A = this chain, B = another copy of it.
Amino acid sequence: MEFTSEQRLNDGVLEREFTLGEIPGILWRPASVSARAPVILIGHPGGLPTMYPRLAARAQHCAAEGFAAATIELPGGGNRPRLVAVEEARTELRRALQAGEPVGDEVVDRLVLPLVDQAVPEWRAALDALLSLPEIGGPVGYSGGIIAIGVRLAVVEPRIVAALLFAGSFVPRAMFEEARKVTIPLQVLLQWDDEGNDRQQALELFDAFGSTEKTLHANMGGHTGVPQFEGDDANRFFVRHLR
């Protein structure tokens, strides 16, 4: 992990860009840290340069509760080399959605599974590097992004003790079996009137999770209209489980 730049945001949060091999990432640290801070991994749909303003805002919100936050670029996202097969599947999916046709399981598999398979080991490697820094401690939370990546991480990465998942992207059928193996506390966000998302599938996925503590928060406002108060609710969820 090599730090490539460093700046203080206006609330005093220290933001540092880094690379982990070929993978760019960002680490945010609260203005004042007395001990090793818990860290929240901030998921996203890919494309750090365009996602940056929203990611920084989420990180600053976490920092207000004393949490560090970190993210890395997804395989094929931002300035990383394209994943041709994934791009093809994405184009097919968009064509189906625009034509009002049903989205086939096979397209979803070709779009999401390679991302999950490549991204999850990268996030785990990033976690290794983050937890070796003197200012970062456990426990670790995971928040948002492509839900299938969050599900796989929740199953395979024992250092993640709580996850906030955004049920806003397509889920390969195979992930439902993995969901049953999730046992950590979950908070699942669902935009009830999300045009591009399958609400019934999201409810089935919530049902499938094996966790005894799981909470679903459904709101109105469309895919990008998650209400502001859910940011506070997310912090309280992590305060309950990371402190």
Interface residue ranges, A against B (CB under 8 Å): 192, 203, 206-207, 211-220, 227, 229, 232-233, 236, 240
Contact = CB atoms under 8 A, between A and B. Distances in A.
Nearest to A216: B218
Given A192-B206, A212-B220, 11 more contacts: A192-B216, A203-B203, A206-B218, A211-B220, A214-B220, A215-B219, A216-B216, A216-B217, A218-B218, A229-B236, A232-B236
A149 B236 CA distance: 31
For the residues of A in contact with B, the DSSP-based class is mixed
A233 B236 CA distance: 10
A218 B202 CA distance: 13
A219 B215 CA distance: 5
A207 B192 contact: yes
Contacts of A203: 203
Contacts of A207: 192
Contacts of A212: 220
Nearest to A219: B215
B220 A217 contact: no
Given A192-B207, A229-B236, A236-B229, A215 B217 contact: yes
B213 A220 contact: yes
Nearest to A188: B218
